[in-house]
Amino acid sequence: MTLADPVTSHRAANRVVAGPLLSVIPGDQVRQPHPDKAISQRATLLAGLADGESRIHGLADCRDTRANLSVLARLGVRCRHTTDGVLLVRGVDGHALAYRGAGLDVGNSATTARLLIAVLAGSRSECTVTGNSSLRSRPMHWLVAPLRRLGADLRYGSRHGRLPVMIFGQRLRGGTVRADVDSAQAVSALLFGSLLADSDITIDRRTAARDHTERLLRWAGIPVLERGNLIRVTPGRPAAFELSVPGDPSGAAVLAALHLASPYAANRLRLTGVCLNPRRLGFFTIIERMGVPVRYDACPWSSPEPVGDILIGPRADLKAGTIRGAALIQSAIDELPLIAALATLADGPTTVRNAADLRDKDTDRIAGMAALLRAFGVTVQTYGDGLTVHPSRPHAPRVARLPPDHRLIFAAFVLAALASGSTELSGVSACATSYPGFLADAAHYLDLRHE
């Protein structure tokens, strides 16, 4: 099945004029978020190493997932879409993988880069993994260092600690290794690398962050044991599997934030078919603490993840407070810009701390969010690991030029929904990184005109 390029399809809509809705249809609202990107990326790579043909239903169609599929094709993994939208992936044996072609360019996908480096490090491949200019500025040392301690031969190209990374594959050895950052990508990459080791690997992590990889590995028959902050994985080839990808909690958070920022906030919103992994629900935990009613209704789903509906609202006055703690921050790390935008409605200053990871994302999201809030007339203070938002109604600037960061773009639309007047948002096409259908969904909550 041929799919339209989600990036190309957004180029014509790189600028929009956004303003608040003047009228709404009364009554409770129902929305279904797009499929989960994080699960889709991990599932496609795992299927590429599995023994047999895996079937993935409802794969997220976005730029980062396409980076995964493009790399898998270069590695000789056969992937095809059926007419009813199922992705079929026939895996290859990672131990027999001996890719020696041109460099593997993953575009802007950090997840693809990091998981791929770990897999190829334990194979017989000799190649280079690189990405676009934005990804080449992001840190890789906290992945490369523990892989080297497991015997990986990895070398940097032009800049220490950054892509490109040259890989001289060889069998990894077992043992205990520490993940020195809170990000789940460090643990996920080491788990993928563990599949090709010569004996068990134990990962000592700092924080119990999102555990999609652990759940997927067990779904495919790989023994993964968790005890506190320790994870032990037994090497082996995954079995082929069938999986239905649930709705993205991050996408659900975007819809919830827009709902709460719009006149629809007087009604309730039901978000259907969402992944209810507790390590991904930090946004909803935070807005509940701020005074928004939140309820979860479980439903059956063919997935290693709990899945169900999220019912939120109606919105009352939002309570201010301090958001901190490694586990809570990691469970909301991608949605903290949305929280910062909603904090303009709170009854006092809202502070986010322990979020230094935000500085190493697609952009420096602490600096970027502060600049965005100031562009809308909001007072904000920044720290090395967070920020404080002082509440006030946002004022629409004539033009807001957005950074190439989908998470900040989503927050900009929330601010536009809250502001009085309209603003031209320039640079919105980067939302295709994770959410190609965003503009169509946002049009339900804002008055949008394409330029």
Which CATH number covers residue 441? 3.65.10.10
Q: Of 234, 269, 286, which residue sits at a domain end? A: 234
User: 55 burial class (0-12, 13-18, 19+ CB within 10 angstroms)?
Assistant: middle
Structural domain contains residue 239? no
Residue 189: the pLDDT is 95
Measured between alpha carbons, how far is residue 162 from residues 71, 147, 206, 403 in Å? Answer: 19, 15, 22, 21
Verify that 307 and 371 share a domain, yes or no.
Answer: yes
Verify that 426 and 366 share a domain, yes or no.
Answer: yes
Verify that 178 and 272 share a domain, yes or no.
Answer: no
Structural domain contains residue 305? yes
Residue 180 appears among annotated catalytic residues: no
What distance lies between CA 202 and its chain's CA centroid? Answer: 25
Structural domain contains residue 2? no
Residue 451: the pLDDT is 67
Structural domain contains residue 241? no
Verify that 142 and 115 share a domain, yes or no.
Answer: yes
Residue 2: the pLDDT is 36
Structural domain contains residue 109? yes
Verify that 95 and 209 share a domain, yes or no.
Answer: yes
Structural domain contains residue 1? no
Q: Of 234, 254, 282, which residue sits at a domain end? A: 234
Verify that 20 and 41 share a domain, yes or no.
Answer: no
Q: Minimal CA–CA distance to 366: which of 343, 386, 342, 395? A: 386
Verify that 152 and 259 share a domain, yes or no.
Answer: no
Q: Count up the domains in the chain and report the number.
A: 2
pTM for this model (two decimals): 0.92
Structural domain contains residue 189? yes
Verify that 423 and 436 share a domain, yes or no.
Answer: yes
Please give the full DSSP string across 122-190, using - where no structure is assigned: TSS-EEEEE--TTGGGS--HHHHHHHHHTT-EEEESSSTTSS-EEEE---B--EEEE--SS-HHHHHHH
8 Å CB contact between 168 and 96 = no
Q: Minimal CA–CA distance to 360: which of 189, 120, 186? A: 186
Verify that 149 and 42 share a domain, yes or no.
Answer: yes
Question: Catalytic residue among 36, 211, 334, 405, which?
Answer: 334
Which residue type occupies 240? A
Q: Of 234, 267, 292, which residue sits at a domain end? A: 234
Strand partners, 450: 16
Q: How far apart are CA 378 and CA 395, in angstroms?
A: 8
Verify that 309 and 384 share a domain, yes or no.
Answer: yes
Q: Minimal CA–CA distance to 1: which of 57, 84, 91, 90? A: 84
Verify that 91 and 212 share a domain, yes or no.
Answer: yes
Verify that 186 and 324 share a domain, yes or no.
Answer: no
Mean pLDDT by 10 residues, the chain (451 residues): 40 80 86 96 97 97 92 96 95 94 90 96 96 93 96 94 96 94 90 96 90 97 95 97 97 98 95 96 98 96 94 94 96 97 98 96 96 98 98 95 95 96 93 90 92 67
Structural domain contains residue 49? yes
Q: Cis bond leading into 164, ω under 30°?
A: yes
Q: What is the extent of the structural domain holding 438?
A: 8-36+246-450
Give buried/exposed letters for 129-139 (b at 16+ CB in 10 A, else e).
bbbeebbbebe
Residue 93: the pLDDT is 95
